């Protein structure tokens, strides 16, 4: 199985290409955008600690239709403001082919979530966008399937693809998913695309985010995506795993030290 | 966790409601529609053996963008013809929110595939359709997640949902996936929605389709979906598991006997 | 991969060989032998309902060293009594190579549990015994590994091997393990050894034992192993899944009907 | 669930207790001892590169009874010689309760393999030995089960237990098993026992051993176990994953640098 190699693309965010391997990227922010105030506080804090980009969900894929579904379009406006005020590039998820254009206007990187890794219509639409695409690995996807999903985007002409490992589903109960560090090492032998890790979603608990972050980077990851919330106890989603801005500052010191 | 109960819906196809438990349903046909001739031959044969509906894919979700992707809109016309000529209700997959309306015109039952089980935009759009929806279980989805995905459709007002177990991903190599008969038995304790089994996709080999079909029905399944091809050796997809029309006639005799 | 075929062995219990396929076998009894009285009550009841053999553990493999470990040798005496009083063949687990001889004196069939499926020393010792051996599939063993473990027994000259599927470990939470009916169908294509199913351990809940039992037989199983307890609420182990003798009588009517 | 904490044990090999966290341990050697010459060459080489102990199997647990089963007792004599000549402590697997004493005479650390993680008779016998015990995690064992198996050894009074993560079984095909770095991080939050990683068995391929080794240490592992062979092409077992002595020297430089 041969995969396309991407040597020298230039995205709005400088992640891959000639930058690859020189500087690690750190994407940080809350699972969901809850308010302008919350977003702004977190963005300023993570920037101070050295984050390269701000992430925050406004279209939220939730297992149950009765859970909080995100702020939607109102959230996009907040993201645009965060970008303007902080200068941080924005990473946010898009779930619907019909929203790709709209989200692209406020975001630098469109995230395609684990559940949509084989939503081929969405992948093709993302391939037609000029935004960079962060492609999460499906929670039981093989590495080959993950790379072939990236291929759907590349085939449309968009080579700004960042691969993101976010945990696989296993039988283990002490963590939400099993963070598959090995997949990062394997993917780096198969593709020139940047590969980052998201230990927050994988672990589902905050006390092991730092060792998992170090492990991902040690295995060759080009960066990390970390959930940060100013008030984790009262977060509308994923509160068990969100770091406080202080925790995140500590993490940054640890992984850079 | 409470799920909506559906007692007496009436779809274009009579599967659930007052019909539920009285008569098993048998959906048969090729993985992909390849030509008008192929579709017509298979449809007539499976009808003769007692099939309740004809299935055939025209929008094919393929792991690689370089594999055969289906006939697309041209295939829909063939399906409409098959319906007219044979009187069999049509089951076919829809992958894109923007195609729901179009596919609905030629199909009685819209299939949502395993990879799209948590494509929530597609689920919502299907919920707005007046077609029945066949919701395949994701290949590593828990039973709870599967039922919650059905809930996305029900919440929009479409209660004509058929659940379909199609195998889960495990470590086993003698079969493509592990046909989870147990999930059928469990689902029947949790919902009034009809639950059917698709042993063809699960097994990925034809020699055990009959015992697996019997097992699914014995576990309480309300029907089966079976891949049938007039020339399996030359099928454009999934040739290892397709039964010939003769095999299918034999299966029907076995499960009804 | 070729497996030895066993055409006409004769064990103390008539399960395989020329009997195979003519009559299904039903092994029933409690997870653990708790007292002479308990064992005798259950044995008489299951015999009345048509059980072919009595099962009951005296050496119990428990995940924690602090859980009830079984009655040990004292339990073996109870089993010998049950055999004498009821005439039922006895199935019981052996965990230690040094106990094979001793257990063989009181039991007709030595069970090798899922956790010991690749305890090769134990398999070899069992292969030297003249008892029949019931080999449970390991909870994440491939079908090939299961058959190769049987081969360790066959290689020593003991061909009285019964294979038993008892559920595999997956991500599902509504059942303890996933009862792999498909493995029964596959194993029947690969070996002449009898293959039975143990839905009780797999399900970990009693309400789906009957549909799973029917499914196993429909898939080709040569018999079933079912947990039965006279007072499930107060059982020392596995109380969630034990049927009462009345439930078992009902199950027997259902699967034979 | 509470686990016993082990603060200051002293084994023949200084791994845990007051040494824990001060110095990482590196156990290296071939999968199987094939000859005195082979063992001696490898042992001298890995010692030169800084290995803390020599590993080599003489009782080999093989899936098929027709595969090479190890040199057995003859191999033990070779191991004793290696210890005498090189001064390196010896790690080797024991599979049978009846061999524990014998193996203990030639080995400093008894390895209990993944397949025997829940062979409770063997665990108890190991608990009565005065050797240190290296307990591999079963290939589908939860972290809780792994720690409870260690508890079987601790309960008998032997607190010199080293936990070893060696990969879990998943659906992935690019690696033999999935090296579960996350389990190392979690185990370190639950027990004071030393936890090491075995990336060789997990990966089943040599090209990612270095990144996985770094990742394990970054996640908090107290050491590594690495397969090294002087002539991997002609190794009698596991040749795909064995490093040459030169590769191992490079690995040591990388992880210590």
Number of domains into which chain B is organized: 1
- Residue B21, pLDDT score: 54
Q: Is residue B1 part of a domain?
A: no
- Residue A15, pLDDT score: 53
Residue reference for tokens 């147990």: B182
From CA C143, how far away is CA C122, in angstroms rounded? 19
Residue C9 has pLDDT above 90, yes or no: no
From CA D149, how far away is CA C112, in angstroms rounded? 19
Chain D residue closest to C148 (CA)? D64
Please tell me the distance in Å from D144's CA to the nearest CA on chain A. 8
Cross-chain residue pair C178–B172, CB shorter than 8 Å: no
- Strand stretches in chain B, DSSP E: 25-29, 53-55, 90-93, 109-112, 132-136, 161-165, 195-197, 223-227
- What is the tens place of the pLDDT at every residue in C174-218? 999 999 999 999 999 999 999 999 999 999 999 999 999 999 999
Cross-chain residue pair B181–C144, CB shorter than 8 Å: no
The neighbours of chain C, by the rule of 3 or more Cβ pairs under 8 Å, are: A, B, D
From residue C245, give the alpha-carbon distance in Å to each of A120, B124, C250, D158: 53, 48, 9, 44
Please tell me the distance in Å from A203's CA to the nearest CA on chain D. 8
Provide the pLDDT confidence category of residue D15 given band limits of 50, 70 and 90: low
**Is the predicted ipTM greater than 0.90, yes or no?**
yes
The token pair at D121 is 């008779």
Tell me what the mean pLDDT of segment C209-228 comes to.
98
- Residue A4, pLDDT score: 35
- Residue D22, pLDDT score: 65
Tell me what the mean pLDDT of segment C20-35 comes to.
87
Q: Which chain C residues have a beta carbon less than 8 Å from that of D4?
A: none
Residue C100 has pLDDT above 50, yes or no: yes
- Residue A163, pLDDT score: 97
Residue C17 has pLDDT above 90, yes or no: no
From CA D196, how far away is CA C62, in angstroms rounded? 25
The token pair at A251 is 């993490």
- What is the tens place of the pLDDT at every residue in D106-144? 999 999 999 999 999 999 999 999 999 999 999 999 999
- Residue C236, pLDDT score: 86
- Residue B2, pLDDT score: 38
- Residue A17, pLDDT score: 47
Cross-chain residue pair C143–B189, CB shorter than 8 Å: no
Cross-chain residue pair C218–B211, CB shorter than 8 Å: yes
CB D203 within 8 A of CB D217: no
Q: What is chain D's length? A: 257
Q: Is residue C7 part of a domain?
A: no
Chain C residue closest to D151 (CA)? C65
From CA A112, how far away is CA A89, in angstroms rounded? 17
Average pLDDT, chain C: 91
Between positions 157 and 216 of A, the ones with CB within 8 A of B are: 169
- Residue C22, pLDDT score: 65
Chain D residue closest to B178 (CA)? D171
Q: Which chain A residues have a beta carbon less than 8 Å from that of B119?
A: 95, 115-116, 119, 122
**DSSP states of D149-175:** HHHHHHHTT---EEEEE--B--S-SSS
Q: Is residue B146 part of a domain?
A: yes
- For chains A and D, what is the number of CB pairs under 8 angstroms? 103
- Residue C235, pLDDT score: 87
SS3 C120: helix
- Eight-class DSSP state of D20: T
> A20 CB contacts (<8 Å, ≥6 apart)?
A192, A194, A222
B16-30, C82-96, D184-198: the lowest-pLDDT one: B16-30
Q: Is residue C150 part of a domain?
A: yes
- Residue B239, pLDDT score: 83
Please tell me the distance in Å from B119's CA to the nearest CA on chain A. 6
Provide the pLDDT confidence category of residue A6 given band limits of 50, 70 and 90: very low
Q: Which chain C residues have a beta carbon less than 8 Å from that of B168?
A: 170, 178
Q: Is residue A200 part of a domain?
A: yes
Chain A residue closest to C178 (CA)? A171
Percent of chain A with pLDDT over 70: 91
B87: domain CATH number is 3.20.20.70
Cross-chain residue pair D61–C139, CB shorter than 8 Å: no
Q: Is residue C90 part of a domain?
A: yes
Cross-chain residue pair B178–C179, CB shorter than 8 Å: no
From residue D228, give the alpha-carbon distance in Å to each of D15, D41, D195: 21, 11, 20
Cross-chain residue pair C219–B202, CB shorter than 8 Å: no
> A31 CB contacts (<8 Å, ≥6 apart)?
A56, A57, A60, A227, A229, A235, A236, A237, A238, A242
Residue A2 has pLDDT above 50, yes or no: no
The neighbours of chain B, by the rule of 3 or more Cβ pairs under 8 Å, are: A, C, D
Q: Is residue D8 part of a domain?
A: no
- Residue C15, pLDDT score: 53
A218: containing domain:
20-61+68-256
- Residue D257, pLDDT score: 75
Longest dimension (CA), chain A: 48
Residue A194 has pLDDT above 50, yes or no: yes
Provide the pLDDT confidence category of residue A5 given band limits of 50, 70 and 90: very low
- For chains A and C, what is the number of CB pairs under 8 angstroms? 5
Q: Is A21 exposed, middle or buried (0-12, 13-18, 19+ CB in 10 A)?
A: exposed
* Any C CB within 8 A of B143 CB: yes
* Any A CB within 8 A of D152 CB: no
From CA A255, how far away is CA D81, in angstroms rounded? 44
Q: Is residue D134 part of a domain?
A: yes
Closest CA to C49 of C207, C249, C231: C249
- Residue B236, pLDDT score: 86
Cross-chain residue pair A61–B120, CB shorter than 8 Å: yes
pLDDT of chain B, 257 residues: tens digit per residue: 333 333 223 334 455 444 455 689 999 999 999 999 999 999 999 999 999 999 999 999 999 999 999 999 999 999 999 999 999 999 999 999 999 999 999 999 999 999 999 999 999 999 999 999 999 999 999 999 999 999 999 999 999 999 999 999 999 999 999 999 999 999 999 999 999 999 999 999 999 999 999 999 999 999 999 999 999 998 888 888 999 999 999 999 999 87
CB D25 within 8 A of CB D53: yes
């Amino acid at each position: 199985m041969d995969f396309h190699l991407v040597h020298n693309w230039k995205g709005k965010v400088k992640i891959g290409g000639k930058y690859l391997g020189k500087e690690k990227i750190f994407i940080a922010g809350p699972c969901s955008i809850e308010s302008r105030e919350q977003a702004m506080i977190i963005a300023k804090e993570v920037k101070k600690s050295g984050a390269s980009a701000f992430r925050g969900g406004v279209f939220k894929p939730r297992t149950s239709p009765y859970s909080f579904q995100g702020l939607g379009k109102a959230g996009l406006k907040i993201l645009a403001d965060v970008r303007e005020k902080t200068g941080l590039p924005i990473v946010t998820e898009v779930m619907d082919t019909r929203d790709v254009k709209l989200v692209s206007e406020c975001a630098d990187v469109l995230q395609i979530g684990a559940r949509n890794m084989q939503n081929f219509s969405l992948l093709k639409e993302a391939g037609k966008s000029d935004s960079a695409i962060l492609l999460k690995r499906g929670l039981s996807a093989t590495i080959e399937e993950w790379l072939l999903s990236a291929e759907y985007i590349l085939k449309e002409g968009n080579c700004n693809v960042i691969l993101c490992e976010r945990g696989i589903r296993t039988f283990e109960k002490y963590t939400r998913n099993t963070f598959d560090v090995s997949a990062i090492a394997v993917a780096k032998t198969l593709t020139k695309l940047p590969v980052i890790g998201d230990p927050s979603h994988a672990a589902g608990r905050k006390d092991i985010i730092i060792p998992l972050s170090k492990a991902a980077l040690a295995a060759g990851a080009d960066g990390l995506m970390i959930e940060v919330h100013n008030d984790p106890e009262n977060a509308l989603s994923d509160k068990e795993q969100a770091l406080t801005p202080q925790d995140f500052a500590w993490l940054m010191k640890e992984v850079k030290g």
